[in-house]
Amino acid sequence: MTPLPVHFLHAPDGFVSAPIAIAMWIATALVVAYAVRRTNQHLDERAVPLLGVMAAFIFAAQMFNFPVAGGTSGHLLGGVLAAVLLGPWAGTLVMTAVVAVQALIFQDGGLVIMGANIFNMGTIGTLGGYAVYRAVAGILGGEERGRLPAAAVAAWLSVVAGSVAMALQLGASGVVPLELALPAMAGVHALIGIGEALITVAALAFIGLTRADLFRLRDLQAA
């Protein structure tokens, strides 16, 4: 039995079966292709430099780990942060680029499993996280009032949801029984999600104080 990677979502090759890896590559390719189309249609040209800046920031921030219980560690994923600033589709492309560069250049995550890693962090974490963000912000009276608490909830949930997806992929691959993978992955990432929420809120609060116009730039797009 392959040891369970409870402390990260950048899974290496060998943790999912070939059919699951292929299926996740297909799903990821479809989502990314649609994200490219939506971004090309609706991205304001003034936001183009922000894509590069956001990708560089998330890439650099992911290099710093924070300790979690049991000797494990976690790091920022950044999907919700990217989606709040850029919109969900452009944010998905940013996260795809970050995960791909980390795998291709720094060997942080395998190549065969990269489709699953992009899907878990770049699709679930960004598209799913943004959906939660908008829903919670709406309940709290809109983005201006509810931006930070909504981002905190969405950021935390994005990490947990990504870990649950990874556990399901492990279980479907027969690598680790689902009854072991699910609580192990979700339990540790529930703690990592707290760090994700704190970093996301801190970054958005700083941007709100210094460059609030960036939020209005995202609103010019048909997200």
User: Which burial class, exposed, middle or buried, applies to 1 when counting CB atoms under 10 A from its CB (0-12, 13-18, 19+)?
Assistant: exposed
Judged against a pLDDT cut of 60, whether residue 220 lies above it is answered with no
DSSP collapsed to 3 states, the chain = CCCCCCCCCCCCCCCCCHHHHHHHHHHHHHHHHHHHHHHHHHCCHHHHHHHHHHHHHHHHHCCCCEECHHHCEECCCCHHHHHHHHCHHHHHHHHHHHHHHHHHHHCCCCCCCHHHHHHHHHHHHHHHHHHHHHHHHHHCCCHHHHHHHHHHHHHHHHHHHHHHHHHHHHHHHCCCCHHHHHHHHHHHHHHHHHHHHHHHHHHHHHHHHHCCHHHHHHHCCCC
Q: Which residue has the higher pLDDT, 6 or 25?
A: 25
Q: Residue 40 pLDDT more than 50?
A: yes
What mean pLDDT is predicted for residues 40-47?
Answer: 76
Tell me the C-alpha distance between 28 and 169, whole Å: 14
Q: What is the pLDDT of residue 82?
A: 92
Domain boundaries along the sequence of the chain: 18-219
pTM of the complete model: 0.87
Average pLDDT, the chain: 85
pLDDT digits (tens, 9 = 90+) for 188-211: 889 889 989 999 999 999 998 988
Cα 73 to Cα 2, 9, 192: the distances in Å are 20, 12, 8
Mean predicted confidence (pLDDT) in 154-173: 93
Fill in the amino acid letter for 121: M
Pick one of 1.10.1760.20, 1.10.3730.10, 1.20.1440.230, 3.40.50.150 as the CATH number of 18-219.
1.10.1760.20
The predicted pLDDT at position 181 comes to: 84
pLDDT, tens only, 76-90: 789 999 999 999 999
Average pLDDT over residues 115-122: 92
Residue 6: pLDDT above 70?
A: no
For the stretch 120-158, pLDDT in tens is 988 998 999 999 999 999 999 988 889 999 999 999 999
Q: What is the pLDDT of residue 223?
A: 44
Higher pLDDT, 36 or 15: 36
Q: How buried is 69 (Cβ within 10 angstroms: 0-12 exposed, 13-18 middle, 19+ buried)?
A: exposed
pLDDT band at 1 (very low <50, low <70, confident <90, very high): very low
